[in-house]
Structure 1
């Protein structure tokens, strides 16, 4: 299964549109959003995804009721199973929770956002993926990740340039 991973869209509709186009072109089968949509109107662009969207709240998501109503977002921690791979998703505001999820040995992959910096790293037997920021406000780089559960590979891509920013085999 090819999974698109995004985070920290922060109402930047042109950037969200670009991420949606990228995921649709890649024919992803699922999109994970690690939080900080910010306002429900971002749903206009996210609903253009061809794949289902699953996500969690971030620390800047103030209109949780509206986000739940338009996107179905309801949790701060999400568990997903894909091709036998167990994935946990949390925004990452509390690093203690991220470490606990990674070290629990319950998950193959833990997806986070919050820092706005892309990263793929190992923590024991768990891979931590931060796709960076779609909005580009802090780093200036608009990035997303692709997790291929069949190839067991993660790639981070700059959605403006198409540049491969990182890759790791699982």
Structure 2
């Protein structure tokens, strides 16, 4: 069984469409999203409709939570403006979708124990977990029984590590990459072998940047060209 893994879409529908096409081309059986469905970009309802249409299972991210509730004081001015704007745009159906998202996914899929969280097992919404921080000691601290596959989001920077029998993955960001590569990121995991293939795909950044500038700070669109 193959699963698609995505994260940090941030209401970037043009990027998500290209990624969903890429996943379909690779015949994934289901797709998991590690949170931050909305925030930053101007297509929140469209993104949520696409996720529902393609049966993508997501957890909640910190920007999703900020849209549902009061925006945290720790958000940047631009992130706060985007969250507040998004809150006003959501349809009742989109709001209900975000409210339905769980904090984590912890279950057996095709015989493999899979754990998905946006931030970290200790702080599911807000803690950043970088690739070089993940080792044997970290896994033992987080888990009494290690999952076969651990999926993180939040950093917008992809990595994959094999630690003993556990594969740890951050697929990177669909909607706002921050590793100086502007192309959308996603991954495909073969659950039988726990092998991971990572992909980057182009999308119409100019269209997203132009639409963003109509409603939100222009620099949110401009940063997409640089992948930061």
Short-chain TM bin: 0.7 to 0.9
Q: Distance in 2 between matches of 1:154 and 1:56?
A: 21
Residues 37-56 of structure 1 deviation map (CA, whole Å, 9 limit, x = unaligned): 0165111222342xx32121
After superposition, the C-alpha distances for 1:64-99 in whole angstroms (9 at most, x for unaligned) are: 486562377421111131221100000023258x84
Alignment equivalent of 2:52, drawn from 38, 47, 56? 47
Matched, 1:151 2:151: no
SS in structure 2 of the partner of residue 60 of structure 1: helix
Contact 1:55 1:73 in 2 (8 A): no
1:7 maps to which residue? 7
User: How many angstroms does 1:128 deviate by?
Assistant: 1.0
Query: Post-superposition, which runs of at least 4 consecutive aligned residues in structure 1 deviate over 6 A?
Result: none
CA distance in 2, matches of 1:44, 1:67: 8
Structure-1-length-normalised TM-score: 0.79
| More strand per residue | 1
Gaps of 5+ in 2: 69-91, 120-125, 204-228
Q: Aligned partners of 1:156 and 1:63: how far apart in 2? A: 30
Q: Which runs of 5+ in 1 are unaligned?
A: 162-170
The residue that corresponds to 2:62 in the other structure is 59
CA contact 1:68–1:74 (8 Å) conserved in 2? no
How many residues in Structure 1 have an aligned counterpart in Structure 2?
158
Give the match for residue 160 of structure 1: 202
Deviations along 1:19-42, one digit per CA (max 9) or x if unpaired, are: 111112222111000000016511
Q: Specify the alignment match of 1:82 in structure 2.
A: 109
- Greater C-alpha radius of gyration: 2
Q: Is the partner of 1:4 in helix, strand or coil?
A: strand
Structural RMSD (CA): 2.7
User: Following superposition of structure 1 onto structure 2, how do residues 101-112 of structure 1 map, counting pairs within 5 Å?
Assistant: 103-112=143-152
TM-score normalized by the length of structure 2: 0.61
CA distance 1:123–1:81, change in 2 (3 Å): same
Richer in helix (by share): 2
Q: Is 1:102–1:126's contact at 8 Å kept on the other side of the alignment? A: no
- Which position in structure 2 is the counterpart of 1:94? 127
Query: Within 1, Cα distance between the matches of 2:99 and 2:28?
Result: 19
Distance 1:144 1:135 in 2: 10
